[in-house]
Structure 1
Amino acid sequence: MLTALLMSSLGACVPTPVDGGGADLEGQPVRLTFLHTSDVHSRLYEYEFTPSFTDTELGLQEGLGPYGGLAEMAYILKRERAKAGRVLHLDSGDCFQGAVVFNQFSGEAEFRTMSAAGLDAAVVANHEFDAGAANLATQGATWARFDLLAANYDFADSELPYANELEDLVLPTGMYELDGLRVGVIGMGNISSLNSIYDQSNSMGIRVIEPGQAIPDEAVMLRAEGADLIVVLSHLGLDEDIENAKLYKDIDIILGGHNHIALDPPLVVVNEETGKRIPIVHSGAFAKFVGRLDVVVQDGEVLSTDYQLFPIDGTVPEDPEVAEILLEYKEQLDYDLKLDQVIGYAETELTRYGTTGGDSMLGNLTAEAMRFYPGVETEIALTNTLGIRSDIPAGDITLDTLYNSMPFDNTVTTMFLSGREVQELLDYATERSTERGCESQIQVAGIKFTMNCEAAVAEDIVINGTPLSPEGTYELATNNYIAHGGSGFEVLERNTTQIDTGISIRDVVKQSISAARTLPQKGICEEDGRIATVY
């Protein structure tokens, strides 16, 4: 399916309808600019954090905060668009979920500001469904002035009431004519995360189409419509982007996301059939960077590429149009939630990942808070590491900081597990962690064990000082996402003793921080080796 893009008021060559005509470019080298963003995760407002070594190497320097922000991102996007001739701004998805603005406004602010920034098209990724498919349909139809693309999501066979809206709203491809040059864009959403949605018994009526079918089929149709260039706008992740570049001959460029990484320079992969060199661009996450890829194309062949990665720090001005929109939401957030209220103090940065790949400061804080919370009070607790989305900087801990670190509205679920089920649970977590560089994908309380990433099994399991008994019974506190099978936790999904307490995990952690006042303290919010790693 093809689409004509809404016209932008920005001062550069903008996409026109596919039947709009254009210059005869046969035999001519043509310059084209792609502006690329990805995984904004609701970081619409500036925020403080300590740039990692990789961030610093990519140009995001310590001491130049605050970082990110959609108004600042829009300033760079509009500046670079004004410098270019033929230009497309493409986003690799997951602009939803990651800060309080999403919890309160369900994606309205994200779509409004991305539209005002001049976005041309975005792939629909897994977190766009976090408030439900019906919400995506509503927000997209109401606020998105850009194309939403996903060739591997098919809503046509669903009988759910919003399916027709999504089928019309989410297009498999877009064709964009830029002064005679036709660019076909194929959207590819994340499949593995959709499988997690199915695992939660929360099917949204989406039929998933594998890349091996979607990419070649859509590329053939785009070529038949006269596409000079085929771009895959992907949220599949870098490994799948590399595989697709090797396998599918019609791909010319891949603009990717999902892994929250920035590649400078872009990775270049040689197609196994044609020998064509295909650039793969990933431009970071959390509104920390904007990528600009300049290509020279002649008769459908990419002759050369040049890439720049622009860091977004405190030196970048705001775009007035986007800043005005954001002010509306900030005033409402401040009125409703008082986000600047201080709930505690961090003497040092509180980290979500451990230094050895095992337990972490924030992971231990969260798991302990869950199991000891009044009305929960279980023997053990377990939560997924990725439910904690960012470190907490040193200094005052505000409610806004907590929302940025723990944006998901997950609740505490309790259940009883046999000892064998505890073993199965920890084996699965170890296997999953092994696939991710032996970085623990869970955080625990009341449990101590060794994550053997060589054998992909959990060993030496101790429950509250006593070795695990296969015949024993243990009460667990976890979050409702993995309790329903999210991220493949089937051993929890099939448990019939589940009780969703309705208690917000973020509120549990807030109370724990407020009670402690200052973190870390001995035994609170510190690494203690409860998850050891062997690899």
Structure 2
Amino acid sequence: RDEIKLLQRYIDELKGKVDLTVALIHEGVPARQSSMGGTDVRRALDKDIQTASQVKGLDILITGHAHVGTPEPIKVGNTLILSTDSGGIDVGKLVLDYKEKPHDFTVKNFELKTIYADEWKPDPQTKQVIDGWNKKLDEVVQQTVAKSPVELKRAYGESASLGNLAADALLVAAGKNTQLALTNSGGIRNEIPAGAITMGGVISTFPFPNELVTMDLTGKQLRSLMEHGASLSNGVLQVSKGLEMKYDSSKPVGQRVITLTLNGKPIEDATIYHIATQSFLADGGDGFTAFTEGKARNTTGGYYVYHAVVDYFKAGNTITDEQINGMRVKDIK
């Protein structure tokens, strides 16, 4: 659906019925492109800025996907864009001076108030319920499933150790006839510290109920998927060992893939490749619509990415140097 058209439709319906129009939006790309990368609030809000510039009559746009707070509201036309930090770190407070006629408002005060745990007392009844569940969960999530010599990290614009691990695990889980595996950068939600890797650590890193899917894709479709990843609208695809892509982010979108190889041989447009992925991508998630063109699709119901990672370790596989350092997807700009 076209979010601009829908938003404009509802704003038009509300005209004359409300004092202010406020949209709560979750779109765009995270501000952190990799574990080592810096943040750029304005870049992370590019999609929100684009929305605010196209929708007429929207007063306030509160967004969340950037995961980085706006030190002060960003004004685009007559729209204010605001964001808090992620993880409940802070609460945003906006105070406006509002005039009904003519319709106008100014920012009197805006702050991001940091929430410190020692400033708040938990509700005893709620805490009792949470403690009960935590006790049951600890029996599962504290189990050690593997060890890592280094912190395992994620990235959006290139390969990362967690992406390499997840793709390799999906490849193994899919079986010997599968040639390669792909997963999305945005589905990796945490880093894993060096040392013991727990069940809870794996689940929190790969938290989504995205089921293992296998299908056949042509080389042309595969290249289309990798080109979409190289557009960086939702991050590159993380890939299994043997698949390599070099791209140039300085080139126009759709013309960025420089080389795409499997086991050292170029991907051929007419060749059929048996691939593994997960259901979010298989259904075209994050704009990777070429997955929906796949043939011979098979879904392993109830078997998620974190299951594949845990089973990968249970089978005796360990974290390899290539998974840690392998730059399977690389920007050569």
Fold shared per TM-score above 0.5: yes
> Structure 2: which 5+ residue stretches go unaligned?
29-44
Q: CA 1:504 to 1:248, structure 2 compared with 1: closer, same or farther past 3 Å?
A: closer
Alignment of 1:35-434 (within 5 A): 210-222=6-18, 227=19, 229-237=20-28, 238-239=45-46, 241-243=48-50, 245-246=52-53, 250-271=57-78, 278-297=79-98, 301-312=104-115, 315-321=118-124, 322-334=126-138, 338-353=140-155, 357-373=157-173, 375=175, 377-431=177-231, 433=232
SS of the residue aligned with 2:141?
A: coil
Return the letter of the residue paired with 2:142: D
Distance 2:310 2:71 in 1: 38
Aligned-pair CA distance for 1:512: 2.6
Matched, 1:531 2:329: yes
Residue 478 of structure 1: aligned partner: 277
TM-score normalized with structure 1 length:
0.52
Distance 2:55 2:216 in 1: 48
Matched, 1:468 2:272: no
TM-score normalized with structure 2 length:
0.80
Contact kept in structure 2, 1:343 and 1:517, CA below 8 Å: no
Return the letter of the residue paired with 1:345: K
The Cα offsets for residues 18-54 of structure 1, whole Å up to 9 and x where unpaired, read as xxxxxxxxxxxxxxxxxxxxxxxxxxxxxxxxxxxxx
SS of the residue aligned with 1:220?
A: coil
Q: CA 1:427 to 1:253, structure 2 compared with 1: closer, same or farther past 3 Å?
A: closer
Aligned-pair CA distance for 1:328: 4.2
Distance 2:80 2:283 in 1: 39
Contact kept in structure 1, 2:61 and 2:82, CA below 8 Å: yes
Q: CA 1:233 to 1:305, structure 2 compared with 1: closer, same or farther past 3 Å?
A: farther
The Cα offsets for residues 240-291 of structure 1, whole Å up to 9 and x where unpaired, read as 54345456664443322233231112223342xxxxxx43210122323222
Residue 522 of structure 1: aligned partner: 321
Which structure's CA Rg is the greater one? Answer: 1
> Structure 1: which 5+ residue stretches go unaligned?
1-190, 195-207, 272-277
After TM superposition, which residue ranges in structure 1, 4 or more long, deviate above 6 angstroms? none
Q: CA 1:221 to 1:411, structure 2 compared with 1: closer, same or farther past 3 Å?
A: same
Aligned-pair CA distance for 1:316: 4.9
SS of the residue aligned with 1:305?
A: strand
Distance 1:504 1:279 in 2: 39
Contact kept in structure 2, 1:419 and 1:469, CA below 8 Å: yes
Choose the corresponding residue for 2:248, options 447, 452, 458: 452
Contact kept in structure 1, 2:219 and 2:272, CA below 8 Å: yes
Distance 1:418 1:243 in 2: 34
Tell me how many residue pairs correspond in the alignment: 310
Distance 1:302 1:324 in 2: 45
Return the letter of the residue paired with 1:452: D
Distance 1:389 1:293 in 2: 29
Distance 1:236 1:467 in 2: 35
Contact kept in structure 2, 1:371 and 1:377, CA below 8 Å: no
The Cα offsets for residues 427-468 of structure 1, whole Å up to 9 and x where unpaired, read as 23323x2x46xx524434331121232143322221112222
Q: CA 1:240 to 1:352, structure 2 compared with 1: closer, same or farther past 3 Å?
A: closer
